[in-house]
Amino acid sequence: MKANSASRIIAGMMKHLIRIHKPHRLAVAAIACVLSLTAGAASGHALDVSASYRKNAEKAFDGFLQSLWPEAQQRGISRKVFNASVQRISLQWDIPDLAPPKIAGEQPAASRKRQAEFGSPGRYFSDRSLNQLAQIGRRNIGKYAAAFDRIERRTGVPRQVVAAIWGRETAFSNARIPHDAMSVLATQAFLGRRPDFFRPELLAIMEIAQRGIVPVAHLKSSWAGAMGHTQMLPGLYLKYASDGDGDGKSDIWNSIPDALATTATFLKASGWRPGLSWAYEVAPSSALDCTLEGPDAGRPVADWIASGARRVAERKWPARINTVKSYLIMPAGRFGPAFIATDNYYAIKNYNESDLYVLYVGNLADRIAGGGAFKTRWRDVDTFTRAAMKQVQSRMVGLGYNVGDTIDGLIGFRTRTATGMHQKKLGMAVDCWPNKPFIARLK
- Looking at the Cβ atoms of 108 and 228, the one nearer to Ca ion is 228
Among the residue ranges 68-76, 163-171, 238-246, 368-376, the one whose residues contact Ca ion (CB under 5 A):
238-246
- Looking at the Cβ atoms of 94 and 243, the one nearer to Ca ion is 243
Residue from 58, 62, 127, 247 binding Ca ion (CB under 5 A): 247
DSSP string, 114-125: P---B--GGGG-
- Looking at the Cβ atoms of 240 and 335, the one nearer to Ca ion is 240
Q: Is 293 in the site for Ca ion (CB under 5 A)?
A: no
- Looking at the Cβ atoms of 150 and 416, the one nearer to Ca ion is 150
Among the residue ranges 56-64, 80-88, 129-137, 241-249, the one whose residues contact Ca ion (CB under 5 A):
241-249
- Looking at the Cβ atoms of 222 and 255, the one nearer to Ca ion is 255
Among the residue ranges 10-18, 176-184, 256-264, 290-298, the one whose residues contact Ca ion (CB under 5 A):
256-264
- Looking at the Cβ atoms of 245 and 293, the one nearer to Ca ion is 245
Q: Is 254 in the site for Ca ion (CB under 5 A)?
A: no
Contact 38, 226 (CB under 8 A): no
Provide, rounded to whole angstroms, the least separation between the CB of residue 205 and Ca ion.
19
Among the residue ranges 206-214, 244-252, 387-395, 421-429, the one whose residues contact Ca ion (CB under 5 A):
244-252
Q: Is 243 in the site for Ca ion (CB under 5 A)?
A: yes
Q: Is 245 in the site for Ca ion (CB under 5 A)?
A: yes
Under rule CB under 5 A, how many of the chain's residues touch Ca ion? 5
- Looking at the Cβ atoms of 62 and 247, the one nearer to Ca ion is 247
Provide, rounded to whole angstroms, the least separation between the CB of residue 396 and Ca ion.
49
Among the residue ranges 152-160, 249-257, 327-335, 431-439, the one whose residues contact Ca ion (CB under 5 A):
249-257
Provide, rounded to whole angstroms, the least separation between the CB of residue 217 and Ca ion.
19
For the CA atoms of 288, 289, 294, 296, the dihedral, rounded to the nearest 10 degrees, stands at: -120
Provide, rounded to whole angstroms, the least separation between the CB of residue 250 and Ca ion.
6
Q: Is 258 in the site for Ca ion (CB under 5 A)?
A: yes
Q: Is 58 in the site for Ca ion (CB under 5 A)?
A: no
- Looking at the Cβ atoms of 16 and 150, the one nearer to Ca ion is 150
- Looking at the Cβ atoms of 251 and 355, the one nearer to Ca ion is 251
Q: Is 62 in the site for Ca ion (CB under 5 A)?
A: no
Residues 6+ apart with CB under 8 A from 122: 332, 336, 377, 378, 379
341 three-class SS: strand
Among the residue ranges 2-10, 191-199, 250-258, 263-271, the one whose residues contact Ca ion (CB under 5 A):
250-258
Using CB under 5 A as the criterion, which residues of the chain lie in contact with Ca ion when the complex forms? 243, 245, 247, 255, 258
